[in-house]
A and B are shown apart, each in its own frame.
Chain A
Amino acid sequence: MSVSVDATPVEASGSALRPHAEHAFAAELAALAAQDDRPRPARWKLSPWAVATYLLGGTLPDGTVITPKYVGPRRIVEVAVTTLATDRALLLLGVPGTAKTWVSEHLAAAVSGDSTLLVQGTAGTPEEAIRYGWNYARLLAHGPSRDALVPSPVMRAMAEGMTARVEELTRIPADVQDTLITILSEKTLPIPELGQEVQAVRGFNLIATANDRDRGVNDLSSALRRRFNTVVLPLPESADAEVDIVTRRVEQIGRSLDLPAAPDGIEEIHRVVTVFRELRDGITADGRTKLKSPSGTLSTAEAISVVTSGLALAAHFGDGVLRPGDVAAGILGAVVRDPAADRVIWQEYLETVVRERDGWKDFYRACREVSV
């Protein structure tokens, strides 16, 4: 069986804007492979144990330091790797900004040494993107044949026993999603036009990511859901970790937008993260008061965008220092998604929590100003 594979020229020289995981961390992968003496499933580049080490970080016997790729609960990585080893498909769920894509890319890089067999899910993803398409010039010239077939990343992964990735699975229309059912349960991809089929080689597997709190998504059918083991990637565990993530991302974005660096921003960032965490978790940081949660996601990604736009406000219209007034409007916009219910929740939060907190007077006043 031969499937024509147009090998994409890989930019390994380092001039790529963002190199693939298997190139960026080639040295670590090589060191792991060299010292990995545990059994590997068929066509895996590393043993499951080494894959887990690659993601979680550690020090190898020869002193090579593996940087942690994912900072979070160990069990999540263990379950994810084990799922792939039992040739069940893996579904990574989580709100935006919880490193779903990042984890999936590194898993594919460590398991198959290739993270590029990727289908990006959108509302317009066609069936061809998951199964196969046709090279119509050839089709017309020579009639249907394997040569006229354009394989999808999933088809290539099946033929070569690699790991395929599907991003944003729930954005794909339901009927297109369901083409995955045969692939995942029968492990074959029929080509009725040729009376042939592609059978998955051992080592084939699929990692999908999906956003579980987004509205307007196409929920998975139970038939498809049954084919996946689901792992939910949690939001950052502690406020400090989240502040750290927000600060780093805001700096990166700020640099690319050429915003002047804010000297006194950390206090406001801390405040934004605290507000988001408290409302999201439905409990105050000191664990003493319960709160209602608004309908919005309030993900870390949104906190980042609130701070970024606050910085832009401060830079262009203020004195360059991030002040409560610069983030208040952004927070209000992120929290109050449903004008009736969320507004009550926000005001309750303002009156019962923010008003009495030490050092939050300015913030309270700024929020009152934009709320009324």
Chain B
Amino acid sequence: MSDSAGGGAFASGALLLGVRHHGPGSARAVRAALDAARPGVVLIEGPPEADPLIPLAADPGLRPPVALLAHAVDEPGRSAFWPFAEFSPEWVAIRWALEQGVPARFIDLPATHTLAWQDEEAPPGPGPGDADGKDGAGGEGTEADRIRVDPLAVLAGTAGYDDPERWWEDVVEHRGPGAADPFAPFAALEEAMGALRERYGAGGRPRDLVREAHMRLQVRAARREFGDAVAVVCGAWHVPALRHRSAVAADRALLKGLPKVKADLTWVPWTHRRLARSSGYGAGIESPGWYGHLFRVPDRPVERWLTKVAGLLREEDRIVSSAHVIEAVRLAGTLAALRGRPLPGLGETTEAVRAVMCDGSDVPLALVHDRLVVGDVLGEVPESAPAVPLQRDLAREQRRLRLKPEALERELELDLRKDTDAGRSRLLHRLRLLGVGWGEPAHSRGSTGTFRETWRLRWEPELSVRVAEAGVWGTTVLAAATARAESDATTAGALAEVTALAEHCLLAGLPDALPVVMRVLADRAALDTDAGHLAQALPALVRSLRYGDVRGTDTGALAEVAAGLAERVFVGLPPACAALDADAAEEMRGHVDAVHTAVGLLAETLTGTAADAHGDLRGRWRSVLRALALRDAVAGVVRGRALRLLLDDGALEPGEAARLMGLVLSPGTPPADAAAWIEGFAGGGGGMLLVHDERLLGLVDTWLTGVSAEAFTDVLPLLRRTFSVYEPGVRRTLGELVRRGPGTTRGPDARAGDTPGFAADLDLRRADAVLPVLRLLLGPDTEHPGTSDHNSLAGVGT
């Protein structure tokens, strides 16, 4: 590589190419400059430990967007990313070097130190990237802090721009290729940055000085090794510092005594969405798709972009003609002129798309933003790339919990009251969330307690591949499962899916994912108009609430959501019960039953918690039941059921129930409806209750004897239908009771002091019948005299 072509380029030392990370204009300029200067080595801002990974960039299996992932070996949760898109200047430099057979090196401070820094930084720095371990040390602006100076904002402000991104676009990114002097833009930028650095120094980032010292030493070493033809690609901010001539000893001194952790690096696939700023990655860009477009197209970027947008809208069945594209191009161009910009940017083209192609609506525009401006490009990494940290974390967890992956299938009984077993259960649940089906939950044999779990374990070889795939979600099993659960929640289709996910989060011990899941759940519940869906979701939610209690998880948010869901069910249920056909009514009766149980549990669980502010849930549910029972439009089976539930709760006077029953079963009611009502009131397992609760039987009996002769022949088949589902024993007992006459045991004088539903005196014959069984249960030697037994048996009878 002779430097004759670009001899002038190295006149003042190494060729310093200051760039904006992920800037397509910068990327083009870098390629042009490298082509012109033909350096003997390319130095790139990035962790030097990744040098052995550079040749992988030539592998066709490695497709950007990808990221260099550095993680601490002993603590996979501590990690940093250096993302590269196809249009990143650093990536372009790497590719150029590989194509030309020129060595490429990373020269930033080693990840060993930057990862160790993260640890110290974590407590005081509440930066958004710190918490989720995405605080990449590679980009300018990652360390988001208000005090720190944003160099671009200062430059843009000086130029009269309110938005630094736009300024950069106008001045650098929108330069077409083939400028006369490939080095001119870099020289201009260096000058501007130099002025800024003079004014602001390190810009409140003292660590930059250390990094820059390291980079200077590396550049010096490279010049000794390869001669003068050295090109450096780094953030524009660092250029003046690298140009600065400082003593080697001073630089070395800065690097002394830095903290260290053992770090490991690999390539991981990245996505455009994660490149976008909205994903919370500090150094991200808002419009990777647009930048990719700018980088790829040979010419006429606006025309090609709008044609692409039109294509997308056509695919989605919007009528967009070529005339639309023409008008959009005109509008974008004129708008840019009005705003005094040299070329329409993303803002102008978006306005044009909205006004011309989308009829002013933001809905199709959101699609354009999602698919094109951001884009759903997914990077790929070849199998030869080193292992992801998630695998290490899993191995550590397996060691810690003494749970070896074995190909042989075996069953595992867990007692959740033990710490190790609880940990195993959580790990298996988390892996299931990540799609790593190592363990399948099986039905517990023998015990049905909530503190027991049975798993069927089997480690198949392809599960390793699954773990590698799951590496995109995070670096530890916990973080990955949390991220996966959050993502699943936002993309879930039905309300029931989200409820199931909430349950899963509790089982897997993912408290951090729970707020997101709860939020989605609350939103879904608010927007779901089908009361049936809501009624379906409530029991599962209440169940998780109870279960969370058992495990000692904080379920405050869950309780809040459950109470809100119950309110919505209360409001939505009465209208939803009207005008139903037989099948739908039967389904709705199931919902009413389930909600009734759930409300009981919920009211019990909420007592004394913050969500208790919701007040008398039970009372409000009763008023809903009352409304259901009294409304004529409601299906008979639901009405009967509602009345029965009220009666069981003791919320209704027996006389009132009898009156309503008589009303429903009077000749004016269509026979089908009357039958349905009885089915709802006394159907299913209700027969047993009729046996034991003579009050109910009395009601039915009174009504039946009051029915006129001709009406009786009408209702007989309907009653038979209801009573035929009872077990034979129940039917026989009922028959006997009726033959004896339910009214005979309770004379009008015996009513005083009577518990409703019970005879005045103990039925000694029935009580005696239980005694042998009781003796069997309690042991043969417990022969208590009669009275105490009789007292306790009175309770059993209910």
Contacts and interface: CB of A to CB of B under 8 A. Distances in A.
A68 B498 CA distance: 48
Contact of A79 (B351, B362, B526, B570): B351
Contact of B355 (A48, A52, A230): A230
Nearest to B350: A75
A239 to B, nearest CB: 20
Nearest to B332: A82
Contact of B334 (A82, A91, A222, A352): A82
B339 A78 contact: yes
17 contacts: A78-B351, A83-B331, A88-B330, A222-B319, A229-B331, A230-B360, A230-B361, A289-B522, A290-B522, A343-B575, A344-B529, A344-B572, A351-B568, A351-B571, A352-B564, A352-B567, A356-B613
A219 to B, nearest CB: 11
B338 A348 contact: no
B351 A75 contact: yes
Contacts of A292: 526-527, 529
A52 B354 CA distance: 19
Given A78-B335, A341-B529, A229 B355 contact: yes
A138 interface: no
A232 B571 contact: no
Nearest to A356: B613
A133 to B, nearest CB: 32
Contacts of B356: 88, 229-230
B423 to A, nearest CB: 34
A340 B354 CA distance: 35
A82 B335 contact: yes
A333 B228 CA distance: 81
Contacts of A85: 334, 338
Contact of B331 (A48, A52, A82, A222): A82
A289 B563 CA distance: 13
A351 B613 CA distance: 13
Interface stretch (B240-248, B320-328, B675-683): B320-328
Nearest to A74: B339
A226 interface: yes
A24 to B, nearest CB: 25
Contacts of B362: 232
Contacts of A230: 354-356, 358-361
B526 A290 contact: yes
A169 B356 CA distance: 18
Sorted from nearest, which 8 A-B pairs have the closest CB atoms? A230-B360, A232-B360, A290-B526, A290-B523, A229-B355, A82-B335, A230-B359, A347-B571
A341 B527 CA distance: 12
A225 B351 CA distance: 17
A232 B351 CA distance: 11
B321 A226 contact: yes
A93 interface: yes
Interface majority SS (helix, strand, loop, mixed), chain A? helix
Interface in B568-600: 568, 570-572, 575
Contact of A348 (B331, B355, B567): B567
A256 interface: no
A78 B354 CA distance: 13
Contacts of B359: 93, 225, 230
Interface string A77-110: 0110111011010010100000000000000000
B527 A86 contact: no
Contacts of A356: 613
Contact of B338 (A81, A231, A347): A81
B451 to A, nearest CB: 35
B405 to A, nearest CB: 43
Nearest to B531: A344
Contacts of B319: 222
Interface in B343-373: 347, 351, 354-356, 358-362
A181 to B, nearest CB: 13
A88 B355 CA distance: 11
Interface string B503-536: 0000000000000000000110011010000000
Given A48-B334, A229-B327, A292-B529, 19 more contacts: A78-B351, A79-B351, A81-B338, A82-B331, A82-B335, A86-B331, A91-B360, A226-B323, A226-B324, A230-B354, A230-B361, A232-B360, A232-B361, A282-B527, A289-B522, A290-B526, A340-B575, A343-B575, A352-B567
Contacts of B331: 79, 82-83, 86, 88, 229
A291 interface: yes
A348 B347 CA distance: 40
Interface in B306-332: 319, 321, 323-324, 327, 330-331
A360 interface: no
Interface string A288-308: 011110000000000000000
Contacts of A289: 522, 526, 564
Contacts of B564: 289, 352
A230 B331 CA distance: 12
Interface string A309-321: 0000000000000
A79 B327 CA distance: 13
Interface in B540-580: 564, 567-568, 570-572, 575
A136 interface: no
B56 to A, nearest CB: 44
Contacts of B567: 348, 351-352
B327 A78 contact: no
Contacts of A222: 319
Contacts of B323: 226
A104 B42 CA distance: 59
Contacts of A347: 571
A232 B331 CA distance: 16
Nearest to B520: A290
B370 to A, nearest CB: 20
Contacts of A344: 529, 571-572, 575
Nearest to B526: A290
A264 to B, nearest CB: 29
Contacts of B523: 290
A354 B359 CA distance: 36
Given A83-B355, A232-B360, A348-B567, A88 B338 contact: no
